[in-house]
Chain A
Amino acid sequence: MSTEASRIRVTDLQGVMRVEFVDRDILDEAAIRQISSELVRRVDAAASPLMLISFRGVEHLSSAALGALITVNSLAKKRGGQLRLSDIKPSILEVFVITKLNKLFHISDTAERALEGFGRK
């Protein structure tokens, strides 16, 4: 089921919310605030939220976007759920490595791989 959200597309994948971005560049502060509030709202609405964010097609990502992901990750954990990330192109993966956020996030090469074992602690 897709939503009407303008910046993200959300699909229900057997209980996992798969999120994809509409934009190639996730840099604009206002857009990031909008994305963050949409993700937080969805995570907040689920009992044990399982969310997979795919970065397929994303070319640029700012530190403000990383901040939004951290917020969503913390909230998902707090609510007994999980956040996983996938399909991150090498140049953006480097941003996660530089900031050591690859230690904080569960990152998989592909969405299919990320879905394996999702929900099992």
Chain B
Amino acid sequence: MTSSHNLADAADEGSVRLREDNAEIEQVQVRIAEALERRDYAPAAVFAIRLSIEEAVMNGFQHGNRADPNKMVEVRWSIDQARANFHILDEGEGFDPSAVPDPTLDENLEIPSGRGLMLIRAYMTDARYHDPGNHLEMSFRKPVAP
């Protein structure tokens, strides 16, 4: 039997293909949150990662797949003691992330959409889209304890 210490040392890796189904999305969020907590990621880090995954997955369904119920979003993850890496892939045609208007400009503050990507960039250590823009790779590096 693997001890809990060894279990926490090993990377937790997984991959799921999701339909736009809240229960399925919640299930993967819980699985990832538990893997993070086992590796002593702080509650603020778990919050940040959970929010980023939520935003990335919903962007994949809504903007990538254009809400096509026949299309799926894939989530892959690898979580170890130092770093959590994620790939979110949709089945859409992709987009140009640089074309998304800055929602923090005064003239855009009252536009009700377009904040998901900026939240991901704010909360994650690194986030970038691979061409053609339907594959987001993002990672969170656990802060080193003083």
Question: Is the beta-carbon distance between B51 and A104 smaller than 8 angstroms?
Answer: no
Give the interface SS of chain B, mostly helix, strand, loop or mixed.
Answer: helix
A-B CB contacts (within 8 Å), total count:
55
Asked if B47 contacts A60 (CB within 8 A), the reply is: yes
Other A-B contacts than A98-B118, A104-B109, 16 sampled, CB-CB below 8 A, are A29-B62, A60-B47, A60-B54, A62-B54, A62-B58, A63-B113, A63-B116, A66-B112, A70-B110, A74-B110, A95-B51, A95-B119, A99-B103, A99-B118, A100-B104, A103-B106
List the 4 shortest-distance A-B pairs measured between CB atoms, nearest first: A67-B112, A63-B115, A100-B104, A70-B112
| Interface residue B144 (Cβ < 8 Å from any Cβ of A) | no
Contact partner, A62, options B51, B112, B122, Cβ 8 Å: B51
Contacts of B123 in A (CB 8 A): 98
B44, CB-defined interface residue at 8 Å: yes
Interface flag for A71 (CB, 8 Å): yes
User: When the two chains form their complex, are residues B109 and A100 in contact, meaning their CB atoms are under 8 A apart?
Assistant: yes
Interface positions of A (Cβ within 8 A of B): 27-30, 60, 62-64, 66-68, 70-71, 73-74, 91, 95, 98-101, 103-104
Residues in A neighbouring B55, C-beta threshold 8 A: 62-63
Q: A66: shortest Cβ distance to chain B, in Å?
A: 6
